[in-house]
Amino acid sequence: MTERGRILVVDDEPSITDFIKLGLHHEGYEVVTAADGRQGLRAVDDFKPDLVILDIMMPRLDGFELCRAIAGEPRRGIIILSARDETTDRIRGLELGADDYLVKPFEFGELLARVKAVLRRRTPDLNRVLVVGDLSIDTATREVRVGGRQLELSVREYDLLHFLAVHADEVLLRQRILDEVWGYNFFGDENNVEVYIRYLRQKLGDTDHQRIQTVRGVGYRLHAVSGVAPA
């Protein structure tokens, strides 16, 4: 799947930058790191991130100064991530232009939720089109194309394909697919997943099951391939 956004992480603690980079990469983001404020400032110009996550206490140029220098770009979000939890620090960071302020230590899940929220506000069109190989899904119009051809999908087929695309190349358990696509209150069984996987394969022209792969005894995985949908 194409990256969900470009994120710059600026922190002088390698364990923090490595941890965040690994987690965000897993979620589909393109991530670059910088070890101090001046490196971060150069990286903003070179990398042109959609979001900057920065620490306050850094050498050469602290996070407040970096925030001041890069604030003002409407399509670039800023999240301050710091061990300083004084109210005055939070207020100062937000007044300098940060969108959010998260205190260390933190749970990655909370950081991820805040990243998504800031990107939704700053770049609402960023995730409009999902691309997996020659498959594209326009999430605004619900238009699906494969090999240049537009596909006609039912509501359930679209929802299933969209879920697979968001988690492209991940092995997804049948029960997880059922819960997420059909809903936790659905009283059917995993056979529903198998039936709709078969429908999707037919419409995608996936006769050899290389696009939607079966992981025996576990579930399914959407894999990026190049092909042409049947006429």
pLDDT tens for each residue of 51-83: 999 999 998 899 999 999 999 898 899 999 999
User: Rounded to whole angstroms, how far apart are CA atoms 212 and 224?
Assistant: 9
Query: What dotted CATH number matches 129-222?
Result: 1.10.10.10
User: Rounded to whole angstroms, how far apart are CA atoms 10 and 53?
Assistant: 6
- Looking at the chain, the domain(s) classified CATH 3.40.50.2300 span 6-122
Q: Could you name the CATH architecture of 6-122?
A: 3-Layer(aba) Sandwich (3.40)
Write out pLDDT tens, residues 146-188: 988 999 999 999 999 999 998 889 999 999 999 989 987 787 7
DSSP string, 1-69: ---S-EEEEE-S-HHHHHHHHHHHHHTT-EEEEESSHHHHHHHHHHH--SEEEE-SS-SSS-HHHHHHH
Treating both helix axes as pointing N-terminal to C-terminal, what angle do 108-122 and 14-26 enclose, rounded to 10 degrees?
70
Is it true that the peptide bond before 124 is cis, omega within 30 degrees of 0?
no
Residue positions counted in the chain: 231
With a cut of 70, say whether residue 2 has pLDDT above it.
no
User: Rounded to whole angstroms, how far apart are CA atoms 9 and 29?
Assistant: 12
- Looking at the chain, the domain(s) classified CATH 1.10.10.10 span 129-222
User: Rounded to whole angstroms, how far apart are CA atoms 136 and 129?
Assistant: 7
Strand-pairing partners, residue 9, are 33, 53
* pTM greater than 0.75 (yes/no): no
